[in-house]
Chain A
């Protein structure tokens, strides 16, 4: 075991994968010589050579389009989009091409490709370095979408994503890169080295896609969440004293229906938390699923806590970010509703 930040865990996953399988290649903007703007690929070019880890032109459609061509050839490209906000020029290649090639060719061609992207806010990135576009991927049939909340999961899930035979969108909550951020931006940063999930094996291991994790067991209310908001939800439960069960979905597609339904049927209450905008966000999908499958077990209306339906502002970052106070208010609200 080693102590790793989420950056180191992501890097270790690529390192282990490249070492095991020479069809794994890594590229993207600033990814090669420099090792990426968040340093996730640092050292990989020196270790595996320029043909397996290299800088790309600033062209997301080209990054994803060439990765599709490589995957079709039989490689397992793991490419980086520098910020999830930058993926839109490549969205056509992701949604109309990568997602459908297996289906439209009846399995003649497949796309075992992973696209990594830092997601979410909390670093004063403004409207073009802070977005959480996971719903735009989950809405597309043929893609898988993964969002880890800690270094241990990030490594195991990224290895599983690289080894998956379908295209996987791997969203890395950038505010979690260096520590388990709970939304209290005015407090000192907690590093991963003090957190049990910052203990990461150096060697190969996988965490299967489509399996949620229970981060806190509880009986009063279920919180469905993922990414940065897992830590915010934990803080809210502690601060309100409400016995919440916190489900970290880890993969939003495929989704772990069993974990969701089992928990909500047990607690009879449900709060859903995501950082993305509200309307048509993934929280809305989760509300629908809970309403469809657990309605007769509910003792209160389902609540969701999300970012506001505005662009991600710069100076008002913490008024926008759905922090522990807003999550706590929702928890109190559903507890009072009975």
Chain B
């Protein structure tokens, strides 16, 4: 991926930024021969395989140009933030503007290591899937900054309700990498006992709610968790996660109406990575200018942020989390990013988008951008970067070896079949005891 955080565009709220989403006229027309003059509009992405993607005319607000309001700001006074993009790192790798300077050098270096850890873990598990060690994998390539930086703004006891692409929420904590691999392999040491599709982790202790696989359901559950925290007068907050495509689900609306009505202490995160499997984000967004703007009708403060800018992600996350914890209610955040890899190991993006599109994406690569920032500050170097990457690679390889000692999907240990009948209920009811006996366990 290229490193081209473009600073040329003005922070122009009228010329709404719609990277990768501009509506192109449909040359074939969808309506056929119309007698009454009506025709159906079906949005199309601007570029398809064979096209040369060109985002040079996409206005990207200058880093540092978007103001930072106080957390108790009136929602009506920040509608413009739902249409802009909050950015901190400029093209020279400098952190600029009111959202900058929230993290120490040490914290930033740790953030870089967290992202490298996600990237190395993903690469290794992608290969493991190709080698037949598991059935399925989903990487977060290009989106690492979002989960990693958001996690750092939370406190112990807060709860995430993630989607399947927030492995960074676990990999930026002390959750054992080997347990994630055991889950991916559904092996004898799988903490979820072989019951879940690979990557559908769960860890209450690490503030990571069990991943569903059905879309958007977790968004409203996060609101309920936050309402419970408020009912109990606690100080913990919840975070809901959703993708651009699944904002079209009913539960997105349900979450916003409940969050808005009860002023729940929740941060509602939309990760707009431009693609929902093969469907470009314009199909879910429709005629709205941005996904963040969906929050405005609910009276929920809504911000749009450069998801490939670790510093901006942290700053905006912290702002929203502080609001929630101060009993000021929910915030909707749209993280603008790009899914650089395939949707999953079952997907081939060359069938629906140009191969070069991710390299042309105007917000660059989050790892490169943070690395260049740290080098520009004089606290990091190419040598240290290579060394850190090698250490992490070694950690991943060691974890994989350790996991494989407990088996992989088709070889070695696996959870006993008898366990299939457990945990359907707290106590196994008579019909399940009968079925377990019938099955011979």
Contact = CB atoms under 8 A, between A and B. Distances in A.
Contacts of B429: 210, 253-255
B380 interface: no
A51 B231 contact: yes
A254 B227 CA distance: 31
Interface in A63-104: 65-70, 72-75, 77, 89, 92-93, 96-97, 101-104
21 contacts: A25-B231, A57-B257, A62-B254, A62-B255, A66-B223, A69-B224, A69-B226, A72-B221, A72-B224, A89-B250, A93-B221, A104-B196, A104-B200, A104-B210, A106-B193, A106-B195, A108-B202, A109-B210, A165-B426, A166-B425, A254-B425
Given A62-B220, A62-B255, A62-B257, A52 B423 contact: no
B253 to A, nearest CB: 8
B224 to A, nearest CB: 2
B202 A142 contact: no
B335 interface: no
A255 B431 CA distance: 8
Interface residues of A, number: 46
B221 A66 contact: yes
A62 B224 CA distance: 9
A34 interface: no
A308 B148 CA distance: 57
Give the 6 A-B residue pairs with the shortest CB-CB distance, closest first.
A69-B224, A66-B224, A65-B220, A62-B254, A254-B429, A73-B228
B220 A61 contact: yes
Contacts of B235: none
Interface string B405-428: 000000000000000000111100
A111 to B, nearest CB: 10
Contact of A70 (B192, B227, B434): B227
Interface SS of chain B: helix
Interface in A92-135: 92-93, 96-97, 101-110
A108 to B, nearest CB: 5
Given A51-B231, A69-B222, A108 B238 contact: no
A257 interface: yes
Given A254-B431, A257-B430, A107 B224 contact: no
Interface string A232-269: 00000000000000000000011101000000000000
B315 to A, nearest CB: 27
A96 B214 CA distance: 8
B204 A141 contact: no
A145 to B, nearest CB: 12
Contacts of A11: none
A102 B421 CA distance: 12
Nearest to B208: A108
A77 B258 CA distance: 16
Contacts of A69: 161, 220-228, 238
A41 B161 CA distance: 31
B191 interface: yes
B231 A97 contact: no
B261 interface: yes
Interface in B240-281: 250-251, 253-255, 257-258, 261
B433 to A, nearest CB: 10
B interface residue count range (under 10 / 10 to 19 / 20 to 34 / 35 or more) = 35 or more
A73 B159 CA distance: 9
B187 interface: no
Contacts of B255: 62, 65
B212 interface: yes
Nearest to A257: B430
A108 B203 CA distance: 7
A72 B212 CA distance: 14
Contacts of A77: 224
Contact of A96 (B195, B212, B258): B212
B217 A92 contact: yes
Contacts of A56: 258
Contact of A101 (B210, B228, B250, B251): B210
A72 B226 CA distance: 11
B121 interface: no
A102 B258 contact: no
B291 interface: no
Contacts of B159: 72-73
A109 B218 CA distance: 13
Contact of A97 (B191, B204, B217, B225): B217
Given A61-B251, A73-B232, 8 more contacts: A56-B258, A67-B224, A68-B224, A69-B223, A70-B224, A75-B228, A97-B212, A109-B202
B229 interface: yes
B338 interface: no
Contacts of A62: 220, 223, 251, 254-255, 257-258
B330 to A, nearest CB: 13
Given A65-B220, A65-B224, A68-B224, A73 B214 contact: no
Q: Which of A68, A77, A164, A165 has the most CB of B within 10 A?
A: A68
B209 interface: yes
B192 A105 contact: yes
